[in-house]
Structure 1
Amino acid sequence: MNCPALPSTFFAQTLVAWQRQHGRHELPWQGTREPYRIWVSEIMLQQTQVGTVIPFYQRFMTAFPEVIDLARADLETVLGHWSGLGYYARGRHLHRAAQKIVQQGFFPRSSEELQKLPGVGRSTAAAIAVFAYGQRAAILDGNVKRVLGRFFALDTPEDAGLWALAESLLPDRELETYTQGLMDMGSLLCTRTRPRCAVCPLQTQCQAYLRGETQRYPTARRKTVRSERHHRLLLLCTPDGRWLMEKRPIPGVWGGLW
């Protein structure tokens, strides 16, 4: 992965300035250093758009205002509040992680320790560490990969190289604003389809834009060929209107659901 020699300060400073003026500032999980609230929001935001997450997050935090409330709840109750968000493994991981946090008596503070929680990967841990503790850590979710891939016109971006690049771009100050700016840029302007390049503050040095090839970057990886499975659903109802229900095993798709 070869990156053009561009001043890293331009990228960070431009993002920070843009986020201050045009980024999102009124999300329900912003304006707090409470790691529990930030952690829940970051887990919900995995593979789910902000607009969808907001009402679920608000209801979830009303039901489980503290980590101990989440830890003490039974799994079915937690999954009931998760219903509609999809990817239910995230809800199960959240419940297990809450129990682990309560058991150990403290919320992890470093990105490395946060990654030991169920369902928390490197990028999610970095986001929590930045927003909750102001630590210096780089995020690299799908949106960020797209922003970097276009800005640097990366032909074959590999994760190892992207992580190194993301870390090299970190500013010395205003890490929270920069990190939120990256998220907002990928969500609001540098979208997968129809990116809003005309109003993007990075366009003067964005290599994909200057080449007129924003749709080309980042180069898509070869998709895995998925096998097909066909299932039949049998519904059993007694004459008096009772249905036979079976709970799915915890591992696998829809684990723990009826």
Structure 2
Amino acid sequence: MHFTNQEIHRLNRSMLEWYDRHHRTLPWRSEPGDLPNPYHVWLSEIMLQQTTVQTVGPYFHAFLQRWPTVTDLARAELDDVLHGWQGLGYYARARNLHKCAKVVANDHNGVFPDTEEGLLKLPGIGPYTACAVAAIAFNRHASPVDGNIERVISRLFALETPLPDVKPEIKEKSSALTPSDRPGDYAQALMDLGATICTPRNPACGICPWQADCEGRKSGIAPDLPKKRKKAAKPTRVGYAFWIRREDDGRILVRRRPEKGLLGGLYEVPGSDWRAIEAPDEVMLSEAPITAKWSELEGAVGHTFTHFHLNVTVLATTLPADQADQMHGSWTTIDGLADFALPTVMKKIVRHALTYR
């Protein structure tokens, strides 16, 4: 299915007219027709990766209060940025956010590059984010494709190839439809259409500005698109967490994880590596930070990451002060744990470990 230039012009006009009347009011957006703050657009796009608009809103406000400009963010300590990111997950985004802010502040005088090519050279900015920031912040002729736009384009053209194989075709067709006039508003219009009308279930086709042209609606398959390949079952991994309390004052040992890797740069209750479910207990126990008499807490802490499920057994011990002082890490009170950037799985471990007396 192909649209003529005249049909494309009509589709663009109807979409932008719909957006002018029905656009969502979001804290990082300007009004239709106006250019927003590039820092706001970039910050929101990084936060919105694999996270909902509802979740991001309060974090976005909090970041702007603490770091109103990209230069302010660049001057921040990484620990503070990671702490402010707690709850958003995928912490590599926060580390790259900080790196990117430093590059923009130091190498670009606090001004974001205004092209896809320039944006792609920045840390943590991939093809989608470069495209989105170029279009939305700088009104460049670019065609970002997020999950909402994938759904809209799949249904408009009745594309039945499952994701992710259909992505290149979606990108091609979306690019062909993108207007030269107001491409940023047009991209946000498609995002809003997917979020409010062309929803995953029960799309409101009757009020869609593209209903007359939608091949998915005409053929009755719109709710089933885009199709997805069946996901493989997530494996389960296991590990130990070592809850170590100092005898004299009850302080708890935490340490920073390596900069690279899962949850890199965040703080943790010391633990073993996370291994396949059949891993021997003695192997994980050998990775305890100290030889001690351990008490195994009843039950386990469960957490699900993108690619695997995790079950953590908590072992607890109390050390005399002279032995504790030889440990690598930071000793903190229970209340003081709030000052450390602990990811969600570690907060679960802490809650479970607090049953130990």
Structure 2-normalised TM-score?
0.67
How many residue pairs match? The answer is 254
What are the ranges of 5 or more consecutive residues in structure 2 without an aligned counterpart?
268-357
1:155 correspondence with 2:163: no
1:251 equivalent in structure 2: 260
1:177 equivalent in structure 2: 185
Match of 2:175 among 145, 167, 177: 167
- The Cα shift of 1:245 comes to 0.8
1:97 equivalent in structure 2: 100
Match of 2:119 among 92, 114, 122: 114
Per-residue displacement from partner, 1:122-149 (whole Å, max 9, x unpaired)? 1211121122221110011111111111
Listed as ranges, the matches of 1:58-77 within 5 Å are 58-77=61-80
Q: Taking structure 1 as reference, are residues 134 and 203 closer, same or farther at Cα in structure 2, changes over 3 Å only?
A: same
- The Cα shift of 1:53 comes to 1.2
- The Cα shift of 1:90 comes to 1.1
Aligned equivalents of 2:239, 2:206: Cα separation in 1: 47
Query: Could you say what secondary structure the match of 1:235 adopts?
Result: strand
- The Cα shift of 1:224 comes to 4.0
* Higher RCO structure (Cα 8 Å, ≥6 apart): 1
Please identify which structure carries the higher strand content: 2
- The Cα shift of 1:221 comes to 2.8
Contact 2:28–2:36, Cα closer than 8 Å, also in 1: no
Aligned equivalents of 2:178, 2:265: Cα separation in 1: 40
- Larger gyration radius, structure 1 or structure 2: 2
1:15 equivalent in structure 2: 15
- The Cα shift of 1:162 comes to 2.1
Aligned equivalents of 1:66, 1:255: Cα separation in 2: 25
Query: Could you say what secondary structure the match of 2:255 adopts?
Result: coil
- The Cα shift of 1:154 comes to 0.4
Contact 2:134–2:140, Cα closer than 8 Å, also in 1: yes
- The Cα shift of 1:20 comes to 0.8
Listed as ranges, the matches of 1:1-258 within 5 Å are 4-6=1-3, 7-24=7-24, 26-31=25-30, 32-105=35-108, 106-156=111-161, 158-239=166-247, 240-258=249-267
What are the ranges of 5 or more consecutive residues in structure 1 without an aligned counterpart?
none
- The Cα shift of 1:59 comes to 0.8
Q: Quick one: which amino acid aligns to residue 22 of structure 2?
A: H
Computed over aligned residues only, the root mean square deviation of the Cα atoms, in angstroms, reads: 1.7
Aligned equivalents of 1:172, 1:94: Cα separation in 2: 30
2:275 equivalent in structure 1: none
